[in-house]
Amino acid sequence: MSDAHDAKLVEEGAALARRPGRTTTPVPAVPENWAGVAHADPLSRGHRGYVGTPLARLDGPVKVRGRAPFAAEYGYDDLAYAALAYSTIPKGRMTGLDTAAAEASPGVVLVLTHRNAPRLNPQPGYDMSLRDPGIGFERLPVMQDDRVHWNGQPIALVLAETQEQADHAASLIHATYAAEPAVTSFAAALAAGTRPLEIFGRRIRVELGDAEQALAASAVSVDETYRTPPHHHNTIEPHAVTVAWHGDELRVHDSTQGVLHTAWTLGQILGIDPARIRVTSPFVGGGFGVKVLWQHHVLAAVASRTAGRPVRLALSREGVFRMTGGRPPAEQRVAVGADEDGRIRAIVHTGAYATTRHSPWPEPLSMASQNHYASDAFVLDTSMAYADLVQNCSMRTPGSTIGFFALESAVDELAGKLGMDPIELRLRNETATNPIGGKPFSSRHAAEAWRAGAERFGWSRRSPVPGSVRDGEWLAGMGCAMVSHHYQRRPGGAARIRLTADGRARAEVAAHEMGMGTATVQSQILADRLGLDIDRVSVGYGDSAMPGRFLAVGSSQSAGIGGALLAATRNLMDELLKLVRDGSPLAGLTLAEVGAVNGGLAALDDPSRHESYESVLARAGRAELVVEGSGEPPAEMANVSMFSFGAIFCEVRVSSVTGETRVSRILGSIDCGRVLNPRTAASQFRGGIVMGLGAALTEETVFDDRNGRIVNASLGDYHVPAHLDVPPIDLIWTDIPDPYAPAGARGIGELSSTGVAPAVANAIHNATGRRIRDLPITPEKLL
Amino acid sequence: MTEDGGPVRINGSPVALPDDPRVSLLDLLREQAGLHGTKKGCDQGACGACTVLVDGQRVLSCLALAVQYAGREVVTIEGLSEGDTPHPLQRAFVEHEGFQCGYCTPGQICSALGMMAEVERGVPSYVTADLGAATAGLDGDELRERMSGNLCRCGAYNGIADAVAETFAGRTR
Amino acid sequence: MIPFTYARAGDEEDAVRLAGTAGSTYLGGGTNLVDLLRRTVERPSALVDVTGLSSSIEDSGGGLMIGAAARNTAVAEHRLVRTRYPVLSRAILAGASGQIRNMATVGGNLLQRTRCPYFYDVAGYRCNKRNPGEGCDAVGGPHRGHAILGASPACIAVHPSDMCVALAALDADVHLRGAGGSRLVPLTGLHRLPGTHPEIETVLAPGELITGVQLPAPVTGERSAYRKVRDRASYAFALVSVAALLGVQDGVVTSARLALGGVAPKPWRAYTAERSLIGGPATATAFRAAAEAELAAATPLRDNGFKVELAVRTITAVLDGLVREERA
C-alpha cells in the first residue's frame, strides 16, 4: 500500500481474516489472447482457493485505529494552509476584487487571484477517446481571467500560517461584478432548447423499428414523465490535497480515483512533464465519481509554487458543493407498450438533463432501457440542456440511477394496467440476446435472480391491491425493480510483480482503494494465481509511479487490474521457467505445462514435479524477479454482451398521517458473475442500496433558480440517509462465473444502486396507491 | 474568571491549549497534537466524523472550541487500543465490515462507545417507548436511532450496527 | 471566524460583568455558536463561557428548576423530567444527535438561531437578520422549510428548537439576569416575532444572561406527547413538530396545551387550538377542527403550503393518540 503503511497492522489484518487455505491444484497461466475466449481463465472455471472466500479486508486494522492517512493528513515543515473564496453570481465579469483586507490579515502568506496567478495551459479534461489520461470534468481556465462561469466558482485563494487565519482572510475578500444574462434553472435550460448527447463523437440515439407506431398499436401502454433532481456525492471526506514542490518536481498527496490521470492532467495544465509529478492516494474517503481533478488541485499546486511552501488545501463542506458538481437534474419520458399477455412491443425512453456549455458531460439516462427487455421496437435518446451551473459529473451509476427510476417505474405501472404481477411481467420479457444489436449475453441469469429473490423476500405475500395493507396509521407495501450494469474493462491496465527470494510476491498497480476492498480482493486473486498463502502476497496501489492506467470508475477497476495481473503472472511464470536449472523437477516444462501451487510451480499433469519459488530463485542466484504485464485490449466484449443483472425487493411503510416513508425491509438478488469476496462484495451492494435509498427518499441538491446558487450546501440540509433510515439489507447472489471476465467476475460497484429508487417508488405505490414520478419522495408528495 | 484545569489531556497526555481561541478541539487534535484519526467531514456538526469522548461522553470536536476543554480528559480513536491490541469494538468493525472507505469509522467507533455509556446509564432515546423505564437497550430501532448522528456515505450502516450489537451484547440493563 | 477573546465566567455576576463589554457574546456548548462563528454569521469580539454556571436540575415546589448550563442530555435523562415532563424528554431526544445533546446547554438551546440557509450564506444572500433592512432572499427563493405562522415579509425563518416547543407547551418560565438585576419571563414571551426587526429575536436586553428555566408542577391527569415530522428518520430538523398535553374527563377535554415547531419564527404556542379544544369533545373531528382553527392564520408561500395540512394532520393524530392511550 502506501509508504506510510504499517506493515504490522497489515499482517494482523491477514491474521484476522478467515483463511480457508490456498489453492491445492496447480493453476495454469492464462494464455495470451484470452480476451474473447470463453473460460480461458482458470479462475472462471470453478477454481477453489482464496477467491470466493470472505477474507476480512486487509485495510481494516489501520482504518479502525484511525491510522490510515488521508490526503489532508500529511505534514510538512513550513506547511501553509489554503482557503478559497467563491463567486456569488452565475455569470459575468469581476469588475473589482478587493483583496487588501485579506492581504493585511494576520498570518496571510499569499492571496492568489486571476491578477497574480501564473499563466496556465487549458485543462485538457477527460478524453472520451481514452487516448490521453485526462481526468477533469470541467475544462475552464483556472483563475486566468476575470470571468465568472457559475455561482460558486473559486475567485481567490488565501494562503496563511494556520487554517483559522486562512479561513478568516478568505471571508474578507470582496468582489464586485458586472453580471451577464445566465441560464440558472433546468426549466430555463430546457426552454432554450436541447442538443443530442454524443459520446465518442456519436449520438447515443437508438432506433429499432417504429416504436411510436408500435406503442400506439399496443393493447396496453403507459406513457409518463419522470423528474429527478440534482444530487451530490457527499463523500464524508471532503476533497483535499497536500502538495509540495521539490525543485521542479511536484508531490501531491491526494484523494483521487485516478492517480496517474491526475498527474498527467496537472502536468498538462502546469506545463511540466507528468513524470515529474507524483500523485499518491493510499486511502480515499469515499469517491462515487467525484474524486477527480477539480480546480483545487491546480490552485494548490500554483499557490505552493508561488509561495515556495508546501500547501494543504482541504475543501470545506460548502466548498465541495460550490465547486464540485454532481448528478444533474433530468426530465424523462418513458413509454412502454405491450400485448395483453404482457409481451413488450415498444419502449420509448427519451429525456434531457442539464450540463454546461463549456464542458458538456454525459448523463446517458436513456441507455438504461437499452439492453434488457425483449421489445420489438425502441426509441432511446438523451439530450443536453445547457445551464450556467456548477459542472455536472459522474455519480455512482451515471445515467442508470435516474434512467432506471423512469424505466422501472413505468414497467411497474404497465404491470398494474395489465393486472399482472410485476415480476411475471419481467420474466415474460426475458431475453438471451441483447435486444439492441442481437449479441448473446456472456452470462445472464436474471430470471434466476428474480425467482430466488421473490422466494426469499416472500413476494407471494404481497397484496396486489394498492393501499390494502394497513397497520394503524401506517400503510405497508412491497415493490421491486431490476438492477443492471454493464461490464467494462478499460484499456491501459498494467501491473508489476516482484517475487523475492523469501517466496513472497508483491504486485503493484496504479489503482485505487476507496473502500471497495481493492487490495484485499486482488491479494486473493494474486495468491491463487501464484499458489501462495495470502500472507505471502501484497498488492500496492494508489501511486502514480506504479504501472497501469487505471480509473476507479464505471465498476471497471477490478476487471482492469484482473486483466493486468493475469498477464503479469503469466510473464512471471514464463520468466521463472527460464531460470529453471537442470536437475529441477520443472526442467524441460513449458509455460503451458505448468501451474502455480504450494508456493511454486508444478507440472499440471504431475503435481509432484514441483519446485518452490525460493528454490528456483536460489538456484538461479537471484534475490528477486521483477516482471510487468499489460492487460490485453478488452476484446472480451467483441462478440458477447456483458452485463450484470439482479433485482431489488423492498417493503415500505408510509404514514397516512404525515406522508413519511420508512423502508422496513430490502433485499438485493444479484447476478454479477463470480463473487470474489462475499464480504467486501456485500458491502458494495449494501452501499449502493443505501445511496439508492437516499435518491429515493431524501436527497436533492437545491439550486436557487434565480441565481444558480446551491441553497442547501451542507450535510445538515442535504439529507443523506442516516442509520435509522437504513434497515437490515438482505443479499443473495447467483455466483455463476462469467466465462469471459477475468476471474469470472463482472464489476459490482454500481450495480445495486440502479434499481433502488424505482423499487421504493413501486413499493410506495403498492402501499398507498399513489404513483410518485418525481424524486425525492418527500412527505408532502404523499399527503 | 476561573482558572480551572490547565492543559487538556488527550489519551492520557497533557496537550497545551492553543493561543488562538478559534482553534477547535478537532483542529487541535489534527494540526497540533498530530492525531489525525479524528476526521473532519463537515466542520459544522452535521456528520459525526469528528466524534471523540470527553470525560467518557461523546461530543463533536468540530463544534468544540479547544479552550473550553481545559482540564478535561479527551479520548480519541488512537487512545482506544491497549498497546497494539485493538479494542473489541475495533475488531468487530473489521469482522462485520463496519466501514468501506474508513473515513467516518473513528467517529462511528467513538460514538458507539459513548452511546453504550449512555445506554448503561439508562438514558432513553426518541424511540424509547417508555421514558419512565429505568433501563435502556439496543433493541428494535434503538441502536440505529442512537447512532444516527454518525453518517456513513459508503452505507456500511448494517455492519456498524452488527459490530456494535455484538460487542455490547448483554451489556444493557 | 473573526478573531475574538475568550473568558470563562466563574459565576453569574462574573458572567454579566464580562459580557458588559460591547461585542461580547455568551458561549454555552458551542453547538450552534461555533458554527455561526465559522460562517462569520456571528462576529463577536469576545466570548464569555458560561458552561461553568449552574447546571443543577432540582425539584422546586412540585415543579422543576433547571440551570441554564445543564446539558440537553442531562435534562432528557433526569428522572424528574422523565416522570413529570416526559414531553420535554421526548422533545430534547428528538433534536440533533447524541453527541450534540451532550454538548448543548439549555440556555444555548433557547437562544439557538434559525437554520435558514440564506441566513447562513453570508457571501451569497441578503438577510434582514444579519444586515437589518437589506432584504430577505428566502422569500423569493426555495423556501420549503420556512415559516407558515408568525412570519413577516422581512423574515420567514423558523426557530429550529425541539426543546423549546415542549417548554412552550409546559408553560415554562425563563430566569434572566442582567446588569440591572434578575427577572422572569415566560418562555412564550422570550422570543419575538420578526415583524420589521427580525434581527431582534428575543426580549433579552444586551448582556442579559439566561440563568435557568423553571417548570410549573405538572397538571394532574394530563397525558403528553411530542411528535416530530422530518425528511429523514433521524438527525434532521422538523418540518412540523407537535408538543401536546391533554386532559380528558368523560370524553370532554378539560385541559389542552399545544405547541408547534418547524412552522414559525418562535416556538408556537397554539392558543387558538387550545381554546377550541377545551370544553369540547375529545374526538378526532374536534381535534382536526381545533388544528384547522390554529392554522387558519397560516400564510404559506409558494413552496411550504404543505406544512399547513401536515400540521393539521399531525396535531390531530397526536391528540387522537393521547386519547387512545388514555383508553388503553
| CATH number reported for the structural domain that contains residue B94 in this entry | 1.10.150.120
The SS3 of residue B39 is coil
Contact yes or no for B68 and C51 at CB 8 A: yes
Interface subset of A 279-318, CB within 8 angstroms of B: 283-288, 314, 316-317
A688 and A595, same domain (yes or no): no
Q: Is A728 on the interface with B (CB under 8 A)?
A: yes
* Closest in C117, C229, C235 to A779, CB measured: C229
Of B51, B79, B107, the residue that ends a domain is B79
A500 and A577, same domain (yes or no): yes
The SS3 of residue B111 is helix
Question: A266 CB contacts (<8 Å, ≥6 apart)?
Answer: A250, A252, A274, A277, A279, A293, A297, A298, A301
pLDDT of residue A251: 98
- CA–CA separation, A74 vs A136, rounded Å? 24
Question: A477 CB contacts (<8 Å, ≥6 apart)?
Answer: A462, A463, A466, A467, A469, A651, A652, A654, A763, A764, A765, A766, A767, A768
What is the total residue count of chain C? 328
- CA–CA separation, A535 vs A542, rounded Å? 20
Interface subset of B 69-108, CB within 8 angstroms of C: none
pLDDT of residue A125: 85
Residue B173 covered by a domain? no
* pLDDT one-digit tens code per residue, A539-554: 999 999 999 999 999 9
pLDDT of residue B5: 62
Element (H, E) at B141: none
pLDDT of residue B172: 64
* Closest in C123, C124, C235 to A722, CB measured: C235
Q: Is B121 on the interface with C (CB under 8 A)?
A: yes
For chain B, what is the domain count? 2
A644 and A600, same domain (yes or no): no
Residue B52's CATH number: 3.10.20.30
Of A633, A656, A691, the residue that ends a domain is A633
B106 and B59, same domain (yes or no): no
pLDDT of residue B6: 85
Residue A46 has a CB neighbour count (10 Å cut-off) of 11
A548 and A646, same domain (yes or no): no
A598 and A744, same domain (yes or no): no
- Chain A: residue nearest C305 by CA? A780
The distance of Cα A244 from the centroid of its chain, to the nearest Å, equals 29
Q: Is C123 on the interface with A (CB under 8 A)?
A: yes
- Whole-number Cα distances in Å, B29 to A321, A357, B37, B145, C23: 26, 44, 9, 28, 29
pLDDT of residue C326: 86
Residue A449's CATH number: 3.30.365.10
Residues in chain B within 8 Å Cβ distance of C82: 124, 131-132
- Residue range of the domain that includes B61: 8-79
* pLDDT one-digit tens code per residue, A411-460: 999 999 999 999 999 999 999 999 999 999 999 999 999 999 999 999 99
pLDDT of residue B171: 78
CB A651 within 8 A of CB A666: yes
- Tell me what the mean pLDDT of segment A479-507 comes to: 97
When pLDDT is cut at 50, 70 and 90, the band that residue A7 belongs to is very low
Q: Is B117 on the interface with C (CB under 8 A)?
A: no
B14 and B64, same domain (yes or no): yes
pLDDT of residue A5: 37
B154 and B97, same domain (yes or no): yes
Give long-range contacts, CB 8 A cutoff, 24+ apart: B133-139. B135/B172, B135/B173, B136/B172, B136/B173, B137/B172, B138/B164, B138/B165, B138/B168, B138/B172
Q: Where are the alpha helices (DSSP H) in A460-556?
A: 518-530
B17 and B63, same domain (yes or no): yes
- CA–CA separation, A234 vs A320, rounded Å? 8
* Closest in B51, B62, B148 to C234, CB measured: B148
Of B36, B54, B79, the residue that ends a domain is B79
Contact yes or no for A713 and C121 at CB 8 A: yes
- CA–CA separation, A113 vs C327, rounded Å? 70
Residue A106 has a CB neighbour count (10 Å cut-off) of 13
Asked casually if ipTM beats, i.e. exceeds, 0.90, the reply is yes
* Closest in C123, C125, C233 to A86, CB measured: C123
The distance of Cα C148 from the centroid of its chain, to the nearest Å, equals 16
Closest CA to A345 of A440, A424, A435: A435
The distance of Cα A688 from the centroid of its chain, to the nearest Å, equals 10
- CA–CA separation, A632 vs C62, rounded Å? 81
User: Dihedral of CA A130/A132/A134/A139: which sign?
Assistant: negative
Regions in chain B scoring below 70 on pLDDT: 1-5, 172-173
Q: Is C235 on the interface with A (CB under 8 A)?
A: yes
Cell of A368: 438504461
- Tell me what the mean pLDDT of segment A371-396 comes to: 96
pLDDT higher than 80, residue A698 = yes
Residue A408 covered by a domain? no
pLDDT of residue A45: 86
B114-136 per-residue burial string, b: 16 or more CB within 10 A, e: under 16: bbbebbeebbbbbbbeebeeeeb
A243 and A309, same domain (yes or no): yes
* pLDDT one-digit tens code per residue, A589-609: 999 999 999 999 999 999 999
Nearest-Cα distance to chain A for C65, in Å, is 32
- Residue range of the domain that includes A713: 439-488+636-783
CB A670 within 8 A of CB A648: no
Residue A747 covered by a domain? yes
Largest CA distance in chain B: 49
Entry pTM: 0.97
- CA–CA separation, C242 vs A353, rounded Å? 40
A750 annotated active-site: yes
When pLDDT is cut at 50, 70 and 90, the band that residue A21 belongs to is low
Residue A397 covered by a domain? no
Pairing, β A311-314 against β A80-86: parallel
* pLDDT one-digit tens code per residue, A43-70: 988 778 999 999 999 999 999 999 999 9
B-to-C residue pairs, Cβ atoms closer than 8 angstroms: 117
The SS3 of residue C129 is coil
* pLDDT one-digit tens code per residue, C84-129: 999 999 999 999 999 999 999 999 999 999 999 999 999 999 999 9
When pLDDT is cut at 50, 70 and 90, the band that residue A469 belongs to is very high
- Tell me what the mean pLDDT of segment C297-304 comes to: 98
A750 and A734, same domain (yes or no): yes
- Chain C: residue nearest B150 by CA? C97
* pLDDT one-digit tens code per residue, A511-529: 999 999 999 999 999 999 9
B67 and B110, same domain (yes or no): no
Contact yes or no for A515 and B100 at CB 8 A: yes
A528 and A554, same domain (yes or no): yes
pLDDT higher than 70, residue A8 = no
Interface subset of B 96-155, CB within 8 angstroms of A: 97-106, 109, 127, 141, 143-145, 147-155
- CA–CA separation, C252 vs C3, rounded Å? 59
Residue A478 covered by a domain? yes
For chain A, what is the domain count? 3
- Tell me what the mean pLDDT of segment C243-270 comes to: 98
Which of B63, B143, B144 is the best residue to mutate to test the C interface, defined by the most C CB atoms within 10 Å of its own CB?
B63
Residue B113 covered by a domain? yes
A-to-B residue pairs, Cβ atoms closer than 8 angstroms: 190
Domain C223-327 has CATH 2.60.40.420: no
Which residues of A43-112 form beta strands (DSSP E)?
Answer: 80-86, 92-98, 108-112
pLDDT of residue A11: 46
Q: Is B149 on the interface with C (CB under 8 A)?
A: yes
Residue B45 covered by a domain? yes
Residues in chain B within 8 Å Cβ distance of C86: 131-132
* pLDDT one-digit tens code per residue, A262-280: 999 999 999 999 999 999 9
B75 and B114, same domain (yes or no): no
When pLDDT is cut at 50, 70 and 90, the band that residue A22 belongs to is low
When pLDDT is cut at 50, 70 and 90, the band that residue C328 belongs to is confident
Q: Is A63 on the interface with B (CB under 8 A)?
A: yes
A496 and A469, same domain (yes or no): no
Of B79, B109, B127, the residue that ends a domain is B79
pLDDT higher than 80, residue A408 = yes
Please report how many Cα atoms fall inside a 13 Å half-sphere around the Cα of residue A517, on the Cβ side: 29
Q: Where are the domains of chain C?
A: 223-327
Q: Calculate the average pLDDT of chain A.
A: 95
* Closest in C7, C10, C98 to B114, CB measured: C98
With cell 473559486, the residue in question is A154
pLDDT higher than 90, residue A15 = no
Please report how many Cα atoms fall inside a 13 Å half-sphere around the Cα of residue A737, on the Cβ side: 21
